[in-house]
Structure 1
Amino acid sequence: MLFIEGEGHMTRYQQLAEQLKLQIKSGIWRSGEKVPSVRVTSRNCSVSASTVLQAYQLLESKGWLVAKPQSGFFVTPIMDRVLLESCEKFIRPKYNDKLYEFLQSNTNVGIALGCAFPDPDLFPLQSLNRHLASAGRKMPTQSVFNNMPPGNESLRRQIAQRYINHGLTVSHDDIVITSGAMEALNLSLQVVTNPGDSVVIEAPAFYGAIQAIERLGLKAIEVPVDLEEGLLVDQFEKLISQNNIRACWLMPSFHNPTGTCLSTEKRRKIIELAKQYHLAVVEDDVYSELYFGELRPIPLKYWDEEDRVLLCGSFSKSLCPGYRIGWVVNRKLHQRLEKAQLVSTLSGSVPVQEGVAHFLQYESLDSHYRKLRKELSYRQQSFIEVLQRHIPANVKMTLPRGGYFIWLKLGEKIDTYRMYRNLKMKGISIAYGCLFSAREKFQDCMRLNTSYEMTPELAKAIKHIAMEVNG
């Protein structure tokens, strides 16, 4: 199999998937035939096994391949692919060209400070891969059915146990496993809204939320986020009292992009308002394990007595980026979530669910999290110290108590999109402010990823950013 380095704007696994799809179309691999194993393709194409697995999972989600336990991946019948493609023609999502350019730029630079994922060196990927292999050898023939929505039972039980240990009463039957946090959040929004509904989001907001709202034909209504206190709950209350709002998408813990974290009082107030105004709350909780203090933030779901909150979590930012393991917690809507997943991606990856469940059973996740939080806190402090030595004193900057993002407000005369373009030519990426608004606000703001180890190269990149700020 030929693998072309750097083809177009696609990532490595997307390139690999596209080439295999072309081979299937040309008849090299026919319906029912087994494609080369992950190990063989990894060796032949000089890429990692996880890259090959991502490519195969992408083709599986698109209907080109099917995974058979203990056997490998096989080409699907042509009618299966025709039916899937005909269904997809009815969905015509809007794509933000600038966002697409930005996401691709983070794969083509040396210092990816605009990247949404933490430094991959922080995670036990070798150990995870061993557990993935071990679980694969033990998988029973019925695994493909046992891992269909709502997902692997062992994995759901262990996620439920972690919530219970943090004071949240959850059953594994309340949990639906998804292909990463974005699927969890998209499915949640989908089951509580109809096209044309209004949805409250934060301003600034995670760009994935903005794209999901546009794709589903919804109207985004923005509520400001204070750089110290987080969401302005008084304005949130005023807005929902004056408008017909169906749902809200909120990130109360270490908000992306600002890093802010809501107080307990504000969290309780949000749930009171959701009850009063009959709102569904999609809670994006993917960063809550990355706290720097003594206590993990309590999710909004804790105060939810009416099952209005769809609590969405993931291991992508805290344990295994690239494995695409996410979930939704909601008892009342779990069947609707399962059905929505069945008609979209069918299910998450069977081997990956088995592998992560195996890791959680035999390794100490809490030990990993303690080390991760300590290192992220140290790296953030080092990053901010270097940055503050070079940027003007009037630049406003968040000092988060968790996560790995900082948000900078530079001044009205500065255009961070122009900065982004200039820095990209130097091999540095930043996340410019307009990405985080449905109305292209925050032109003078940017988000930076502080999860990387402070090296001379990183210090030099920070100086280049400061030079752009100083003009």
Structure 2
Amino acid sequence: MEQEYIYQRIATSIADQIRGGVLKPGDRLPSVRMLCTTYKVSMNTASRIYQELEANGLVEAKPQSGYFVTNLSFVDIPLPEVSKPVLLANNKEPKEIIRKVYSNMGNRSLTLFSYSTLYDDFLPVMKMKKEMLAASRTLVNGGIEYDSVSGNLNLRRVIAQRSITWGGSLMEEDIVTANGSMSAISMCLLALGKPGDTIAIESPCYPGVFQLAIDLGFKVVELPTDPVTGIKVSALREAIDHIDLCLLISNYNTPMGSCMPESHKKEIVALLDQHNIPLIEDDVYGDLYFGNQRPSCCKAYDKTGNVLWCSSVSKTLAPGYRVGWVAPGKYKEQILRQKLLHEISTPGLMQEAVASFMRTGKYDKHLRKLRHGLYENYQKYLNTIITSFPVHTKINRPQGGLSLWIELDQRIDALALYDLAIAEGISIAPGRMFTVQEQFQNCIRLCIGLPWSISVDQKLQRLGELSKQLMK
């Protein structure tokens, strides 16, 4: 409790200096280590101070440079509300809305703000073509034969080596490859649950997750979620006796963009382990951090093998390659059985190409450029939304990932806004598609994976104008 008080007091003090003009836009702030020395606090507390200031749009982290007062410091941008779902199993799946939105996937005649993916210059197209050609020469018979059930050895080895970046210590035998992270999640659900079981998820949540769970016969419980820190651990504790599985996006989840503090990750892992409830962790956005350091994963605090860590390169490198994986811990044999039953093997050619790109350092170089571009995109999107959307619009301030979660005036129906926007060539994701409950009708998610351009700016401005029309 004392640490909580100290963290709030220091964050408030720095915020007051910024708002009072003592610290000016562009001023460099003390490093995390210097903050620890000055205020005699832990690294976790110091990091949380800056996380709070970032969430309020007061400071920004520049890779390899430190923290700076942002140019948006003097704009009062409220955060979206903490979600308040009913803690009961629910199944009001928004099938028609999801079908409507996803029917336009791949339609490049539209401005696609609706899908959480990368486009155009954010993707290293030519480099991956070369990797694919090289992989076809490296693999026996060009990669046309079945690979092992566990998957491409080189990919598993490099994923294991990279686990150190998020606090893990995986070995190649700890990993099973999959056709993207949703395939990995599907194997986890099939291996660990049965029809009638209850799964706890975030609220709002990526629709693919609850659609899959419902199709497999699961009941879905949504947990209250904070736009900065993720699910309310107290709510998980309250629901713990009524759930059989838990599935969370711990880092920069979609659509809210929240990132769990390390203390929350530790607490969640310990709580679920205590009750023998498996945690499926989807970490597809973890490499897309805007600051100086990649966030840890829940898997880093897993001492018993109860966390199944899933990820892929679909959000960072090659959406169409469908290269993903899972580190299933103590559930490895069940996962291998599901993979053998449903897939037999995964395409070795694409996995070998991705493994080579990672092993040679090209992936890290690509990520550095990508993170810088996404952060600039985020700032530009945010600035246009602030100046073009109705007053009192609430916007999340993610510290990574691809999602902007926007809470509009209560009078604005996001489905009506979708219809107006699509008629003008703009595709958005209405908030109702991210829940199995009747909520988020005045919310939308926008993806920042479209590189900035005059056209993107104009479409965002037009979206703001359409929002204002719906208030009249």
Q: Structure 2-normalised TM-score?
A: 0.77
Q: In the alignment, which residue of structure 2 is the partner of 1:179?
A: 179
Task: Give the Cα separation in 2 of the matches to 1:460 and 1:95.
Answer: 30
Report the Cα offset of residue 328 of structure 1: 0.3
Letter in 2 for 1:469: S
Question: Secondary structure of the equivalent of 1:342?
Answer: helix
Report the Cα offset of residue 210 of structure 1: 0.9
- 1:308-347 aligned within 5 A: 308-347=306-345
Letter in 2 for 1:128: M
CA shift in 2, pair 1:418/1:225, >3 Å = same
Report the Cα offset of residue 440 of structure 1: 3.9
Q: Size of the alignment, in residue pairs?
A: 376
Q: In the alignment, which residue of structure 2 is the partner of 1:21?
A: none
Task: Give the Cα separation in 2 of the matches to 1:177 and 1:447.
Answer: 30
Task: Give the Cα separation in 2 of the matches to 1:410 and 1:256.
Answer: 18
Q: In the alignment, which residue of structure 2 is the partner of 1:190?
A: 190
Task: Give the Cα separation in 1 of the matches to 2:358 and 2:234.
Answer: 41
- 1:294-373 aligned within 5 A: 294-373=292-371
CA contact (8 A) 2:94 2:433 kept: no
Task: Give the Cα separation in 2 of the matches to 1:107 and 1:101.
Answer: 13
CA shift in 2, pair 1:201/1:449, >3 Å = same
- 1:450-469 aligned within 5 A: 450-469=448-467
Letter in 1 for 2:101: F
Match of 1:290 among 263, 285, 288: 288
Task: Give the Cα separation in 1 of the matches to 2:261 and 2:202.
Answer: 16
Task: Give the Cα separation in 1 of the matches to 2:94 and 2:412.
Answer: 26
CA shift in 2, pair 1:449/1:142, >3 Å = closer
Spell out, residue by residue over 1:206-247, the C-alpha distance to the aligned partner (whole angstroms, 9 max, x if none).
Answer: 101111111110000011112233211111111114x2x111
Q: In the alignment, which residue of structure 1 is the partner of 2:122?
A: 122
CA contact (8 A) 2:120 2:451 kept: no
Task: Give the Cα separation in 2 of the matches to 1:357 and 1:239.
Answer: 40
Spell out, residue by residue over 1:392-446, the C-alpha distance to the aligned partner (whole angstroms, 9 max, x if none).
Answer: 2311110100012110111322110111111111110001011100124211111
CA contact (8 A) 1:179 1:347 kept: no
CA shift in 2, pair 1:436/1:464, >3 Å = same
Report the Cα offset of residue 337 of structure 1: 1.0
CA shift in 2, pair 1:275/1:431, >3 Å = same
Task: Give the Cα separation in 2 of the matches to 1:368 and 1:377.
Answer: 14
Task: Give the Cα separation in 2 of the matches to 1:161 and 1:357.
Answer: 11
Identity %: 31
Match of 1:260 among 244, 250, 258: 258
Greater shift, 336-345 or 323-332, is seen at 336-345
CA contact (8 A) 2:135 2:352 kept: yes
- Gaps of at least 5 residues in structure 2 are 1-92
Report the Cα offset of residue 332 of structure 1: 1.6
CA contact (8 A) 1:253 1:287 kept: yes
Task: Give the Cα separation in 2 of the matches to 1:289 and 1:458.
Answer: 25
CA shift in 2, pair 1:189/1:222, >3 Å = same
Task: Give the Cα separation in 1 of the matches to 2:451 and 2:351.
Answer: 30
Greater shift, 103-112 or 411-420, is seen at 103-112
CA contact (8 A) 2:166 2:295 kept: no
Task: Give the Cα separation in 1 of the matches to 2:358 and 2:313.
Answer: 11
Greater shift, 222-231 or 380-389, is seen at 222-231
CA contact (8 A) 2:252 2:258 kept: yes
Q: In the alignment, which residue of structure 1 is the partner of 2:203?
A: 203
Task: Give the Cα separation in 2 of the matches to 1:363 and 1:291.
Answer: 18
Question: Secondary structure of the equivalent of 1:105?
Answer: coil
Spell out, residue by residue over 1:124-168, the C-alpha distance to the aligned partner (whole angstroms, 9 max, x if none).
Answer: 121111111111023214955662321001110000000034431
Q: In the alignment, which residue of structure 1 is the partner of 2:20?
A: none
Report the Cα offset of residue 327 of structure 1: 0.3
Question: Secondary structure of the equivalent of 1:332?
Answer: helix
Report the Cα offset of residue 267 of structure 1: 0.8
1:100 and 2:123 correspond = no
CA shift in 2, pair 1:420/1:106, >3 Å = farther
CA contact (8 A) 2:167 2:297 kept: no
Question: Secondary structure of the equivalent of 1:389?
Answer: helix
Match of 2:447 among 446, 449, 452: 449
- Gaps of at least 5 residues in structure 1 are 1-93
Quote the RMSD (CA, aligned, Å): 1.7
Task: Give the Cα separation in 1 of the matches to 2:122 and 2:384.
Answer: 21
Task: Give the Cα separation in 2 of the matches to 1:323 and 1:248.
Answer: 27
Report the Cα offset of residue 172 of structure 1: 0.8
Q: In the alignment, which residue of structure 1 is the partner of 2:112?
A: 112
Q: In the alignment, which residue of structure 2 is the partner of 1:399?
A: 397
Task: Give the Cα separation in 2 of the matches to 1:368 and 1:389.
Answer: 32
Q: In the alignment, which residue of structure 2 is the partner of 1:22?
A: none
Task: Give the Cα separation in 2 of the matches to 1:328 and 1:275.
Answer: 19
Letter in 1 for 2:95: N
Q: In the alignment, which residue of structure 1 is the partner of 2:47?
A: none
Letter in 1 for 2:100: E
Report the Cα offset of residue 272 of structure 1: 1.5
Report the Cα offset of residue 467 of structure 1: 1.4
Q: In the alignment, which residue of structure 1 is the partner of 2:76?
A: none
CA contact (8 A) 1:149 1:341 kept: yes
Report the Cα offset of residue 169 of structure 1: 1.2
Q: In the alignment, which residue of structure 1 is the partner of 2:433?
A: 435
Question: Secondary structure of the equivalent of 2:385?
Answer: helix
Task: Give the Cα separation in 2 of the matches to 1:464 and 1:142.
Answer: 49
Task: Give the Cα separation in 1 of the matches to 2:120 and 2:284.
Answer: 16
Report the Cα offset of residue 363 of structure 1: 4.1
Report the Cα offset of residue 301 of structure 1: 0.5
Task: Give the Cα separation in 1 of the matches to 2:100 and 2:343.
Answer: 25
CA contact (8 A) 1:186 1:212 kept: yes
Report the Cα offset of residue 95 of structure 1: 9.4
Task: Give the Cα separation in 2 of the matches to 1:460 and 1:98.
Answer: 25
Task: Give the Cα separation in 1 of the matches to 2:94 and 2:405.
Answer: 25
Task: Give the Cα separation in 2 of the matches to 1:358 and 1:397.
Answer: 39
Letter in 2 for 1:320: A
CA contact (8 A) 1:291 1:401 kept: yes
- 1:383-398 aligned within 5 A: 383-398=381-396
CA contact (8 A) 1:132 1:358 kept: no
CA shift in 2, pair 1:160/1:273, >3 Å = same
Q: In the alignment, which residue of structure 2 is the partner of 1:413?
A: 411
Task: Give the Cα separation in 2 of the matches to 1:95 and 1:216.
Answer: 16
Match of 1:423 among 421, 435, 446: 421
- 1:221-240 aligned within 5 A: 221-240=221-240
CA contact (8 A) 2:165 2:294 kept: no
1:136 and 2:136 correspond = yes
CA contact (8 A) 1:120 1:321 kept: no
